[in-house]
């Protein structure tokens, strides 16, 4: 009996000696400090453009996993095993990016910078002087729509736009190619100190059908589909720079509208709307800036009007 008890004591001591904290660290694959640990770590980052401004709604893939970037461009994947992974991101109007990353036993951070696709139309208003009429790519310009020298939204020279009191003023581009397979995005930076209404438009070549996005007095977001006018309240601040974007996809026959801060981050994005009720349909191939000036007239900063390829 004594021999049995001694054997049990020896076995018990041996087991206990292998169950200490040090031993768990060495052998438990679920312990992050273990060399054999393969459990999850977070992979985080930011999808941004060439100016390091976050891109919202970008599709981000980690191997076969998928997520989208938030309103400021940030994304996160949780519980990622240590090892080599493929990280990629894509967004409309940008070239996609793919890279290999090595995740170890710590949180991994990776920014992804996407390059802009080529623009069909671009005007940063930096070449115009005082009381000038903008030139190409603008084909039709109201006599009352002039530029003043000054600082633009992106803090480069020009452009302040002046509209004479109680007049409708506009700049219309020449028709650009927008056939099937093209996704036209018109973006406009503007200062909401302007009393409004102030509108960015995409039109078809007939000029009869328009998509519009801008703001009215308030300032309130204003947008127009082919069938309805809409306003969205309590989202914009006065004297703040925003980017207004209309994204019309001829292939998908859809359009949606976005308002972003000029410094990055999304303010508001509409749902997706059907463009045309039937095929064939016209393509949107003209961009306009339009305002109905109040009786006091206005001047305000406008910058970086662009139309992108899909």
Please give the Cα distance from 131 to 26 (Å, whole number): 76
The domain 21-113 is placed in CATH, from the list 1.10.10.10, 2.60.40.10, 3.40.50.300, 3.40.50.2300, at 2.60.40.10
The domain 119-308 is placed in CATH, from the list 2.30.130.10, 3.30.413.10, 1.10.10.60, 2.60.120.200, at 2.60.120.200
* pLDDT digits (tens), the chain, 310 positions: 555 554 444 444 444 444 443 333 333 333 333 333 345 689 999 999 877 878 888 899 999 999 999 878 899 999 999 999 999 998 877 889 999 999 988 889 999 999 877 778 888 777 777 777 788 888 888 877 777 655 455 555 555 555 566 677 788 888 876 554 455 555 556 656 555 678 888 888 788 889 999 888 888 999 999 999 999 998 888 777 788 888 887 777 888 898 888 777 788 989 889 988 887 777 888 888 887 766 655 556 677 788 876 6
pTM: 0.67
- Which spans in the chain are helix H? 2-17, 21-27
For residue 9, give every residue at least 6 positions away whose Cβ sits within 8 Å of its Cβ, in sequence order, or none. none
CB atoms within 10 A of CB 81: 12
Least Cα distance to 62 among 82, 42, 77, 75 occurs for 77
Where are the domain boundaries for CATH 2.60.120.200 in the chain?
A: 119-308
Where are the domain boundaries for CATH 2.60.40.10 in the chain?
A: 21-113
Helix/strand/coil for 204: strand
């Amino acid at each position: 009996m004594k021999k049995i008890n001694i054997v049990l004591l020896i076995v018990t001591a041996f087991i206990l000696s292998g169950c200490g904290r040090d031993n768990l660290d060495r052998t438990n694959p679920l312990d992050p400090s273990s060399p054999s640990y393969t459990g999850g770590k977070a992979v985080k980052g930011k999808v941004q453009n060439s100016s390091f401004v976050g891109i919202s709604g970008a599709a981000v893939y980690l191997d076969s996993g998928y997520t989208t970037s938030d309103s400021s461009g940030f994304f996160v994947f949780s519980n990622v095993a240590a090892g080599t992974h493929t990280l990629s991101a894509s967004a409309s109007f940008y070239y996609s990016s793919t890279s290999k990353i090595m995740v170890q036993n710590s949180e991994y951070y990776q920014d992804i910078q996407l390059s802009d696709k080529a623009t069909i139309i671009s005007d940063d208003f930096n070449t115009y002087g005082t009381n000038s009429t903008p030139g190409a790519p603008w084909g039709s310009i109201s006599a009352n729509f002039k530029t003043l020298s000054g600082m633009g939204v992106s803090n480069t020279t020009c452009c302040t736009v002046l509209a004479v009191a109680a007049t409708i003023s506009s700049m219309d581009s020449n028709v650009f190619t927008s056939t099937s397979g093209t996704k036209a995005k018109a973006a406009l930076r503007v200062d909401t100190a302007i009393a409004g209404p102030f509108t960015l438009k995409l039109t078809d070549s007939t000029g009869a059908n328009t998509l519009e996005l801008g703001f009215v007095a308030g300032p309130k977001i204003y947008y127009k589909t082919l069938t309805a006018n809409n306003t969205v309240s309590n989202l914009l601040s006065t004297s703040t720079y925003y980017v207004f974007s209309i994204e019309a996809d001829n292939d998908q026959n859809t359009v949606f509208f976005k308002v972003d801060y000029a410094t990055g981050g999304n303010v508001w994005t509409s749902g997706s709307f059907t463009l045309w009720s039937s095929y064939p349909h016209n393509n949107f191939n003209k961009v306009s800036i339009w305002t109905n000036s109040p009786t006091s007239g206005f001047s305000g900063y406008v910058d970086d009007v662009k139309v992108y390829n899909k």
